[in-house]
Structure 1
Amino acid sequence: MFSIFTFAKDLSTIRKALLLAVILFIAGGALGWAGTESLQRLLAGQLEGLREISQSINSSDQPQWNFFIFIFLNNSIKSVVIIFLGALFGILPALFLLINGAVIGYLIHISAIQGADLFELIVKGLLPHGIIEIPAIIIACAFGIQFGGKVISEIFSSASRREQRSGSWPIFMRQTLTASIWITILLFVAAIIESTITLALLS
């Protein structure tokens, strides 16, 4: 029920939602790179908040451990919650993808303007943990979008069609539970990498 093979099979049933999630994330990245001044101010505020948290963690007694705890809890809780918030017509997972993509796009763009080494930023700062973290977040949002799509279908379908599809809900809810477990595991691994390998590469 909760095996990795079941999880992989479940992903094949939400291919359209996965594709849409990837498109939204890339679109967010493009918006962050070439965004308006007001959007850039918003994203700069997001990064400033993260910078303040990072400085607070660095000044603690066990910065590496606290960094891991913050990254893991922040990402895993948000990702699992966003699956079920997708019940609100899939709007929040879509916004979550756009914002996360925009933050990365803006970060890369502003770093390029400031003359930073983009190879170091991407290969050392983003890739080691991002290769796991970003797909996990996209998968979580894809399940949220799928959730929203099912809710919309229920609302606008006839009574007979709703009755025919009623058996699909227990299957989907089991899929969200399996996804929540594996997304949490993936983000746990990503947090370990980010708090150890990524930090070592950037230090």
Structure 2
Amino acid sequence: MDDKPQAGQGALPDDFQIDIAVAAGSWPDENELASLCHAAIDAVFKVAPVEALAGSEVSLVFTDDAAVQELNKRWRGKGKPTNVLSFPGSEPDGDLYGPLMGDIVMAQETISRETDELGIEFSHHLSHLVVHGMLHLFDYDHQENDEAELMEGLERQILAGLGISDPYADKPLLADDD
């Protein structure tokens, strides 16, 4: 994460588009999803040192494990579902990202299972994964320990602003090999 600005930009830009598609799975009502996603993405812009071009957009696809497993195998060579996948769109212009931020794809069964295993609210876990996916679109990663520390620190700050507990409280900061 070289040369990132040092503070959040303030708020979700007025002309930032959030496109939501429910493709498969038993998801909450689309209005509830839209509200949750807007709040999570707005929090990213308030806290993280990120900036998007005017008129930028992100697509969030809510689907099932089978669809995510296929995408995960095709694009990452991993033949299993995962909770969230991010597919960056256009290359950034310096520190500005967009206009097509990219796609974030969620797997309903995996997220529900993790929610049960972790004993947390579905909406909190989903908010975390939207934040996580957005940070990936802004080139944050967690493949190396220093990257994981930076990304997870931002996630903690963003989620705290949403009133969501630290998802890493009981886990050490480690690079993700998944």
Shorter-chain TM-score tier = 0.3 to 0.5
The structure number with the bigger radius of gyration is: 1
TM-score by length of 1: 0.31
TM-score by length of 2: 0.34
